[in-house]
Amino acid sequence: MASLNIVLSVLFAGVLIAGGPNSVEVDSNELINSAKNYDKMEIVYSGEVIGDIMKRGPNCWINISDGDNAIGVWTEESLAKDINYKGSYKYKGDEVKVTGVFNKACSDHGGDLDIHAKKIEIISKGYINKRPVNLYYILAASILLLIAIVLNLIIFRKKL
């Protein structure tokens, strides 16, 4: 009986391994440095949405940065509809996980390196970056402005 349990366990594990995910999770450095190894493969790439979403008919471009590099992602507009925040000085962009086909030199897009997304999953929502105003900088700038005005008035009076 114990040997039957072992055989069934091994068979079940084999089925799980064989039916496992067929896409590999990679970062931008790996994609850029080993582009030929991932060309035309389904990959998973995660990072922050940065810049604008550039609509092109029913599709759009989004740029995803993993902190080291940004990679362009070509997707249907419907897959990107839930993206609310795009990273910039003012905003922290939504963190997303993109599953799609990696292209070392995409023939559809002028030979550029890109990912054609099949699925976009939002990992975490972005937010507004609140940057406190440093009152010392405002005070220093005001004093320097006052000094500059006084010096200009002195120079202007000497010329008359």
Model confidence over 111-133: pLDDT tens digits? 999 999 999 999 999 999 998 88
- Which residues, other chains included, contact 58 with Cβ-Cβ below 8 Å and sequence gap of 6+? 76, 77
Q: With a cut of 60, say whether residue 41 has pLDDT above it.
A: yes
What is the distance of C-alpha 3 from the center of its chain?
50
CATH class assigned to 23-128: mainly beta
On whether the CB atoms of residues 97 and 123 are closer than 8 A, the answer is yes
Q: Which pair of structure tokens corresponds to residue 71?
A: 């990679």
Domain boundaries, the chain: 23-128
Please give the average per-residue pLDDT across 27-33, as a whole number: 94
DSSP H or E segment with residue 156: helix 135-159
pTM attached to this predicted model: 0.70
Residue percentage of the chain with pLDDT more than 90: 76
Q: Give the model's pLDDT for residue 2.
A: 52
